[in-house]
Amino acid sequence: MSHSQRKLHLNAFLYGTGHHEASWRLPETSPERNLDFEHVLNIVQTAERGLMDSVFLADGYVGRSNKLEPFTQLAALASRTKHIGLIATVGTTYNEPFHVARKFASLDHISKGRAGWNIVTGSGSAAHNFGRDEHPEHALRYEEADEFVEVTKQLWDSWEDDAVINDKSAGTRIVGSKVHTIDYEGKHYNVKGPLSIARPPQGYPVLVQAGSSETGKEFAAKVAEAIFTAHQSIGSAQAFYQDVKSRLAKYGRTPDQLKILPGVSPIIADTVAEAKEIENQLFEYINKDGAVKRLSERLGIDLSDHPLDEPITLDGARSTDEVNGNKSRHQLIVDLIQDENLTLRQVINRLGGARGHFTFTGTPLQLADLIESWFLNGAADGFNVMPQIYPSGLERFVDKVIPELQNRGLFRTEYEGRTLRENLGLARPANTSHWPKAVN
């Protein structure tokens, strides 16, 4: 596909008052509205007005995040939107395939084919909320996730596409011979099936993955149709893009069957000076003690007495191999410290903007230039847009950056299809189960 034909894909990552950790302290934001559905709806409708492909809700099973559960929220959003995709994080380690398959099938039916599943294996601190002594080891979690996804696919395929006929004259609602048990027996899961709801409109929800470790990249090449990833430079993004795309052939897949969407976390204003002023205000609002504590815990070294304006040394820091959580994010932070010789204050400020994703401060035109450069030079198929301030950051992106991308022929001027798959240029998967022909 030529550059003139190829179009960007844009996802809006919903995140409370914004992706900057101090955004909640700004006078313009409303942290008290985090559980206010109408507030969230307004943000999602802004993304849809901008013709963005999808919105994304991250999730976890631990901590004091004070946010709504994704399925409940996205089902409500589906009833008040028409085109935008609805992606939710659901972890495999602390769920069962049947529950997840049923919920996503339901969301896909409610939204008429706009559901997406961000597949993660979960965080270690969640183990104690589910009666477990410890979080499973990294490689084992991905092994379980691989099997988990296979079971959910078989459950979605347990109904043939034409199983529901609702033939009033014949008195037949569902053709029983077209609904099948899957009788799955694996190393980690045993599931009889069938699913209790018809095959989703998209066949499967769009499958998204966010891990960038070696295991995560291989899992993505086998399973994922979109990847959310974090990079601090175009060079890093290009290397990741080439690496993951090169792995697809072994699974019988082509590069256009996987969309790679690096995160970009912008502060946008009409002038650079105005944007810098907003950025500096956010820096001032960061809780430095809390940020130092979190960084110390991640690196495994005590930075509490380290001067804020002196470079960090990583003597004694844990290696990525020792990490049983997000390995790729740990390595990104280590590389950032080593490659740029940053002071403790600089690291805190860089991570405060978007937890390791690429941050941008400047004008709409400058951001459009950056997006175009990454897109046309083998670093991205689009972007996971992560405004540092909600809702104003997304409003500025939609009102000022997207029109510029459209003027350059890089982004749609209307939705191409009715489903998330169609808008992402992904085929609806055929039913992979080879059931016996139904006997009439």
Per-domain residue ranges of the chain: 9-271+357-424
- State how beta strands 54-57 and 9-14 pair: parallel
Spell out the SS3 assignment of the chain.
CCCCCCCCEEEEEECCCCCCCCHHHCCCCCHHHCCCHHHHHHHHHHHHHCCCCEEEECCCCCCCCCCCCHHHHHHHHHCCCCCCEEEEEEECCCCCHHHHHHHHHHHHHHCCCCEEEEEECCCHHHHHHHCCCCCCCHHHHHHHHHHHHHHHHHHHCCECCCCEEEECCCCEEECHHHECCCCEECCCCEECCCCCCCCCCCCCCEEEECCCCHHHHHHHHHHCCEEEECCCCHHHHHHHHHHHHHCHHHHCCCHHHCEEEEEEEEEECCCHHHHHHHHHHHHHHCCHHHHHHHHHHHHCCCCCCCCCCCECCCCCCCCHHHCCCCHHHHHHHHHHHHHHCCEHHHHHHHHHHHCCCEEEEECHHHHHHHHHHHHHCCCCCEEEECCCCCCHHHHHHHHHHHHHHHHCCCCCCCCCCCCHHHHHCCCCCCCCCCCCCCCC
Binding residues for FMN are 59, 89, 138, 142, 212-213
Cα(158)–Cα(327) distance, integer angstroms:
35
Cα(51)–Cα(251) distance, integer angstroms:
32
Per-residue pLDDT of the chain (440 residues; tens, 9 = 90+): 444 589 999 999 999 999 999 999 999 999 999 999 999 999 999 999 999 999 999 998 887 788 899 999 999 999 999 999 999 999 999 999 999 999 999 999 999 999 999 999 887 678 889 888 888 888 899 999 999 999 999 999 999 999 999 999 999 999 999 999 999 999 999 999 999 999 999 999 999 998 788 888 999 999 999 999 999 999 999 999 999 999 999 999 999 999 999 999 999 999 999 999 999 999 999 999 999 998 998 899 999 999 999 999 888 888 887 777 667 778 888 888 888 888 999 889 888 888 889 999 999 999 999 999 999 999 999 999 999 999 999 999 999 999 999 999 999 999 999 999 999 999 999 997 765 544 33
CA 137 and chain centroid, separation? 22
C-beta separation of 206 from 426 below 8 A: yes
Contacts of 315 (CB under 8 A, 6+ apart): 301
Cα(80)–Cα(47) distance, integer angstroms:
13
Binding residues are 59, 89, 138, 142, 212-213
CATH number of this structure's domain 9-271+357-424: 3.20.20.30
- State how beta strands 172-174 and 164-167 pair: antiparallel
Please tell me the pTM assigned to this model: 0.92
Tokens describing residue 229: 């990833």
